[in-house]
A and B are shown apart, each in its own frame.
Chain A
Amino acid sequence: MSKEGIKSEIIDLLKSGKIKSFVGYEKGTNPFFLRPLITSSVEEVKKADFSVLCVSNLVRYVIDDFKIALPRGKTRDSRPIAVVVKGCDSRAVNVLLQEHIIKRSDVFLIGMPCNGVIDPKAAESLWYERNKTHDPTKIRISNEGMFEIADGKEEIKLADFDEIESEKCKVCMHNNPVIYDELVWDKVDDKKVTRGERYKKVDDYEKLDPEKKWLFWSDEFSKCIRCYGCKNICPLCYCEECTLAKDKEKAVLPNEKIWKTSWIDKEVNFSNNVAYHMNRAMHLAGRCVDCGECERACPVDIPLRLLYTKVEKDIYERYGYESGMDSEVKPVLATFDINDKEEFIEG
């Protein structure tokens, strides 16, 4: 398949009514990433693009579709949604399937084998540093690096791809989608990242003594403004009512109801922030697929991936389990095996 081929297939599927909408990427006003395109119009599908700028995890929009409030008497259109998935995103689909949140027939998966996407924040700061014209329309980013289009057609190289590649992609072990219906282009070779390389940052972090760890996270969590960007962009944070945010309940009176619906208050303070992030990390244990969207969405740059990779490493070392690789197996924390390590009970 090719880019154009896949687009015409989607258009055919839309026209025949086999899918209800398409979730892909389109060029927006931010030159450092392609923004999500959610549409059921044939004209708009033509705007879709596939490149190293496809940073978003679009699986979130499948979950969102279930959450749309409909007028009385209307029911949800249950036809599948065509969604573009990279390696990491496809694993998120698997987790949702494992947890019976969606059915396989709810999605039509367009796999996009990927050799890494860029880190928009890193690219942007390098661009400000190295470019002179400050014209965002004159940027070209490809898998060769970041270029500035100068007068005429001449291009000036501003950065190598290595410099702007997303951190999560540098340690990615699954470059090809693990579940898909159609591929945009041929599968790519895996990067052959070893576990040691993948968990290097976590290893370094683990070597710190407890006081230093505490200081590190105190500094990071006190920055949090609790915008809930990390939670709202996460494809696996699908709860109707989050225990860490007053999503549905707006109880303002001091009665017991507050404690039942939310574990923390709206008050932004260090204690609540720690509770929020620690709870979220625990809830993502054995589930997080490291798509890195939380860290990208965070406006105050909290290194959330470090937190979740630590949890991922623990799960891997304990149970040899990797999240989202197979939609048929049971989620690791929903199973019991007599050989499971449980040294934490002893002593």
Chain B
Amino acid sequence: MAKFVEDINKLLVELASKVELYVPTTNKSIVNFEKFTGEPFEAEKFKNSTEPIKKILFPESEILYFYKKDENGYKFEQVPLDEKKKIIFGARPCDCAGVERLDRVFYGDYMDPYYDARRKNTIIIGLACNEPPYHSCFCTSVDLSPSSTVGMDVLATQLENGYLLEEISDKGKELLGSSELVRDANEDEVKKAKKLHEESHKKVKKIDIDTNAIEFESDLWGREGKRCIGCGTCTFLCPTCHCFTIEYVGSTRQGRVIRSWDTCQFQAYSLEASGFNPRPNKGERVRQRLHHKYRYFADNFGEFQCVGCGRCVNLCPVNIDVREVMVYFKKKKQKEEVIP
């Protein structure tokens, strides 16, 4: 049963009074998810945030534990887990799907307690894209859509007179049930939202991604690698990239152990203790990124590790475009199939 709220900002104020609420906030030229300050949310101006909501669940740096040495040896002090109740409002469907991909990794063979503490205390209210926000959007190519509900607890859709709120999970149901500002939606509103979803879906440009067509030994990697500058923009701002490195900060006597984002695009990422680097040049690193996204992850989890948000395409300073690479391989495979 879908719900409806006339004034979203009243609801946000109500939510913010109970828990930590994150909403898209404009800071000069960029938009990020920050704590709600009471400033009204304007859906018309919001496209998508520069940094995905991944940052709230998996911050760029976090302290794991402290260590100290005395006469009796090392002592370790655990950092209290972040178990504050959080609500994220306004995350785009692609970013929410990104959280679902992160879940697969952080709840995989080993449960990550730091991630788990944040994740289980977070409710995500997604916001459907009534219009694909960027020309680089390609969510429909990775089996998602501008209104997909993967990874969300509630899906909000902006209509003329308010927001339609669809309950996706039990957490979301509970949240909406507790507010008096929310009423049951009527059939007309549900229909309108559905129509918007369908129209928006059609507007996203679709490309064909064929996992099996992506080659390992190909000249393309060398070409793309030559152009790549080896920065971490594509991976750090990816909603699904989850690599991290663990480092000791301090001296041998005392200090802290931190976990920070790391990226396969950096040279030191794959550098071995012997000094040998299996991925010495940028071409191999670009290959690793795309193979992980569209092959290895698909082999392990049956899904792409890409949600089609287009950040890596749009923000790359030298225009390395995953869509172009995927189309190249698909076309190449088709040609080979015709002429065996």
Q: Which residues of A contact B (CB under 8 A)?
A: 28-30, 33, 35-39, 56, 60-61, 64, 68-69, 121, 128, 134-136, 219, 223, 225-229, 231-233, 245-250, 252-255, 258, 265-269, 293, 296-297, 299-301
Interface centre among B51, B252, B268, B321 (most CB of A within 10 A): B268
Query: Which of B30, B261, B318 has the most chain A CB atoms closer than 10 A to its own CB?
Result: B318
**Chain A residue at minimum C-beta to C-beta distance from B29:** A301
* Chain B 250-283 near chain A by CB (<8 Å), digits 1 or 0: 1110010010111100111001000001001100
- Stretch with Cβ within 8 A of A (4 or more), from B5-13, B76-84, B168-176, B226-234: B226-234
Out of B233, B247, B260, B280, name the residue touching A297 (CB < 8 Å). B233
Within B43-67, which residues are at the interface with A (CB < 8 Å)? 47, 50-51, 60-61
With A229-B232, A266-B262 as known contacts, state yes or no: A299 contacts B245, CB within 8 Å: no
Cα distance A69–B51 in the bound complex, in angstroms = 33
Give chain A residues whose Cβ lies under 8 Å from the Cβ of B317: 56, 229, 233, 293, 296-297
Of all A-B residue pairs in the complex, the 9 with the closest CB atoms, nearest first, are A69-B280, A229-B231, A227-B232, A35-B319, A297-B317, A28-B319, A254-B248, A136-B135, A268-B60
Q: Which residue of A is nearest B251, CB measured?
A: A254
What are the residues of chain B within 8 A of A128 when measuring CB–CB? 47
Tell me which residues across on chain A come within 8 A of B318, comparing CB atoms: 35-36, 56, 233
A269 to B63, CA, bound (A): 11
Taking CB as reference atom, which chain B residue is nearest A222? B27
A293 to B321, CA, bound (A): 19
Contact B247 A267 (CB under 8 A): yes
Check: B75 CB closer than 8 A to any chain A CB: no
Give the contacting residue for A247; candidates B28, B261, B267; CB below 8 A: B267
User: B323 contacts the other chain (Cβ, under 8 Å)?
Assistant: yes
Closest A residue to B279 using CB positions: A69
CB <8 Å contact, B229 and A229: yes
Known: A35-B319, A299-B315. A267 touches B61 (CB 8 A): yes
Say how far A107's CB is from chain B's closest CB, in angstroms: 16
**Complex CA distance for A29 and B227, rounded to whole angstroms:** 14
A33/B229 in contact, CB under 8 A: no
Residues in A with CB closer than 8 Å to B131 are 134
Least Cβ–Cβ distance between B47 and chain A, in angstroms: 8
Question: For residue B246, which residues in chain A have a CB less than 8 angstroms away from its CB?
Answer: 252
Bound complex: CA A135 to CA B136 (Å): 10
Asked if B313 is at the interface (CB within 8 A of a chain A CB), the reply is: yes
Flag whether B142 is at the interface (Cβ < 8 A).
Answer: no
Contact B135 A223 (CB under 8 A): no
Q: Contacting B245 at CB < 8 Å: which of A69, A233, A252?
A: A252
Determine whether B15 belongs to the interface, using a CB cutoff of 8 Å to chain A. Answer: no
Complex: A300 Cα to B266 Cα, angstroms: 19
Does chain A have a CB within 8 A of B236?
A: yes
Structural contact, A267 and B258, CB atoms closer than 8 A: yes
Number of B residues near A (Cβ < 8 Å) is: 53
Q: Are B271 and A229 in contact (CB under 8 A)?
A: no
Contacts of B29 in A (CB 8 A): 121, 301
**Residues B17-39 near A (CB distance < 8 A):** 27-30
Q: Given the complex of chains A and B, what is the CA–CA distance between A135 and B135 in angstroms? A: 7
Cα A254 to Cα B66 with chains together (Å): 13
Q: How far is the CA of A301 from the CA of B247 in the complex (A)?
A: 28
User: Contact mask B310-328 → A, CB, 8 Å, 1/0?
Assistant: 0001110111010110000
Residues of B within 8 A of A (CB): 27-30, 47, 50-51, 60-61, 131-132, 135, 203, 223, 226-227, 229-233, 236-237, 245-252, 255, 258, 260-263, 266-268, 271, 277, 280-281, 313-315, 317-319, 321, 323-324
CB distance from A87 to the nearest CB of B (A): 20
Return the chain B residue nearest A136 by Cβ. B135
B231 lies within 8 A of A248 (CB): no
Tell me how far the C-beta of A45 lies from the nearest C-beta in chain B, rounded to whole angstroms.
14
- A246 near B268: Cβ-Cβ < 8 Å: yes
Question: Are B27 and A223 in contact, CB atoms less than 8 angstroms apart?
Answer: yes
Q: What residues on B are CB-neighbors of A267 within 8 Å?
A: 61, 247, 249, 258, 260
Residues in B with CB closer than 8 Å to A253 are: 248
Known A69-B277, A233-B317; judge A300-B30 contact (CB<8 A).
Answer: yes
Most buried by A among B203, B230, B271: B230
Contacts of B248 in A (CB 8 A): 252-254, 258
Residues A254 and B135 in contact, CB atoms below 8 Å apart: no
A333 to B248, CA, bound (A): 36
Q: Is the CB of A227 within 8 A of B227?
A: no
Chain A residue at minimal CB-CB distance from B280: A69
Query: How far apart are the CA atoms of A37 and B28 in the complex, in Å?
Result: 33
28 contacts across the A-B interface (CB closer than 8 A)? A35-B318, A38-B227, A56-B317, A61-B226, A121-B29, A223-B27, A225-B236, A225-B261, A227-B231, A227-B263, A228-B232, A232-B230, A245-B266, A248-B268, A248-B271, A252-B247, A254-B250, A254-B252, A265-B247, A265-B249, A266-B61, A266-B247, A267-B61, A297-B229, A299-B233, A299-B236, A300-B50, A301-B30
Chain A residues with CB under 8 A of B28:
301
Question: Do residues B232 and A33 form an inter-chain contact, with CB atoms below 8 A?
Answer: no
* Contact partner, B227, options A35, A255, A266, A268, Cβ 8 Å: A35
Chain B residues with Cβ below 8 Å from A64 are 226, 229
Cβ contacts under 8 Å, B247 to chain A: 252, 265-267
Q: A268 to B236, alpha carbons, bound, how many Å?
A: 12
In this complex, the member of A35, A135, A229, A253 whose beta carbon has the largest number of chain B beta carbons within 10 angstroms is A229
Expressed in whole angstroms, the minimum distance between the Cβ of B70 and any Cβ of chain A is 16
Given A136-B135, A250-B271, A227-B226 contact (CB < 8 Å):
no
Inter-subunit contact A247/B268 (CB<8 Å)? yes
- B278 CB, min distance to chain A CBs, angstroms: 11
Q: Which residues of B contact A219 (CB under 8 A)?
A: 27
Complex contacts, B323 vs chain A, CB 8 Å: 29
Bound-state Cα–Cα, A146 to B323, Å: 25
Q: Which residue of A lies closest to B231 (CB)?
A: A229
B256 nearest CB neighbor, chain A only? A267
Q: How many angstroms from the CA of A35 to the CA of B228 in the assembled complex? A: 11
The answer to whether A233 and B261 touch across the interface, beta carbons within 8 angstroms, is: no
Q: Which residues of B contact A228 (CB under 8 A)?
A: 230-232, 266
Closest Cβ of chain B to A264, distance in Å, is 10
Chain A residue nearest in CB terms to B282: A64
